[in-house]
Structure 1
Amino acid sequence: MTAETLTVVDTGRDKKREQGQAELVAAAVEAARPGLDKIPDPVEPDGDGDLTAEEKERLDTCIGGVELLSTAFWIAGKSLDTMAKGHLIRRIPHKLEPERYYETIEEWAWLEYGIKRSRCAQLRAAWALGEVLAARGYHAPEGQVRELVPLKRKYGLNAGVAMYEIAVEQHGADKVTAQRLRDLVKLLPEDLALKDNDDADQIARMFGGVLEHAEPKALSAGGAIPTDVRRGVDRRALDLANVLNRRRIPRTEVERHLLEAFADEEDTTVFDAVLARMKENKGK
């Protein structure tokens, strides 16, 4: 066999090997690809007892499809955020007015995909938190993550992660719910001193200490109560704690005692003080 023949044989063998590898890669990609065609069609159960092997396989496939929903949320949110921040839609012709381009991501998302403005904002606000929680091994549905978005906006991404980990410590990863996260967030004071460079573990330890002594809020700390008044209450609560030789007195405890004193019909000291202040303010 000549050298030329050997070269042809080797070249053919290499091409077959490359083709075989390409087919393997394509098959792997296809196997990993999510798609509606991979979800089994709805059928009646095989019986009322234990699931058959075929039913178990069908169940596993469907659960995998449902779990993709969380990933899809974060992919969509990150995509929208990237497009918005980079103004990548600036040369996409408007669907209804082709003579001009889209100006905002909200306009593009609504006309092209039926995603409302509020929904677009939700997805953009939540994806980063969902991505970090997923990287830490948590399967956090969108509804749970949305409960932490206000915390993230106020104190940063790590604060949201820290609160989720507090919930996992208290209830277990499989018992975390949106309601439990909402209840935990409500227990936090309004003006925590968090630093931008605090990591999630540091914040989680701080949250744990705060929540350990927290009580359900009797009054809303926001809304009509000015910030300087809230801070004044906290300072006076520290004075009270020093007098009582306690480390800390939550604002909610002070509020409860104030309300009890205000409602006391035998001792009208607090009632009279509130009445005098209201009369004074009315005259201004």
Structure 2
Amino acid sequence: MLALPEPPSRPIASTPVLITEEEDVFLRCEVAIENLKVAFWAAGKALDIIREGRLYRAEYTSFVDYCEQRWGMSRGQADKLIRMWPIAEAMFDSMPSDSNDPTRIRVAKLSQSVVWELVPIAEGYDVEAATAVYTTTAEADEAPVTAEVLRGVVKDVVKVLPKGQSVDKEALTSVVREALQRVSSGKRQAAPKKKAVASAAKADPAVPTLPWDSPEALNRLLRQHMTDENRRTLGKLLAED
């Protein structure tokens, strides 16, 4: 994959036409966006570079026009990718070198939905805290980390730890583990109970359905299946009527 520079704090040049350096960066960014489905974080970083450097200005009047006309992408989609890329890139960069390491395998299969749940941590604290939340969650459970699980964990982290301050790693790990226990407990309680079998389904299949619309057939059926006790009981009921 092409290496991408950091997004600029301001455009390199202010000329209507891109200078050579900008054209080179613009080309690499567009290649990254083209590979969106393969590496969404690279596409997000590329969009960030293009937006901050105004590299779209040679052919488009605004970043919104560029996203919509060039990629068929809404501003909301572009912003979402831009907000996610620092987290995903940090996680990829910190992957263990061992290709068989469970954490590396999980990170290699990161989805946008999973990374998106970590955005409140990255923006409320920092990217390192976001990666720590994911890593702790992954290490606590052998199952793949899902967006649903992370959503519950992040909710607890934001509630317990004050924003805008450096996060103590031990405290963060403790909160994540407690949140995971709560999420797991909630899932067990919410598990659907087996539906009780209807009484009709429990009925003996050997007992036939009574043909109430045919007196003759009903008479034959009753004679065939009724016991002496059943006949005496029926006789008493008819006598009372």
TM-score (normalised: structure 1): 0.43
From the CA coordinates, give the structure whose radius of gyration is larger: 2
TM-score, normalized by length of structure 2?
A: 0.50
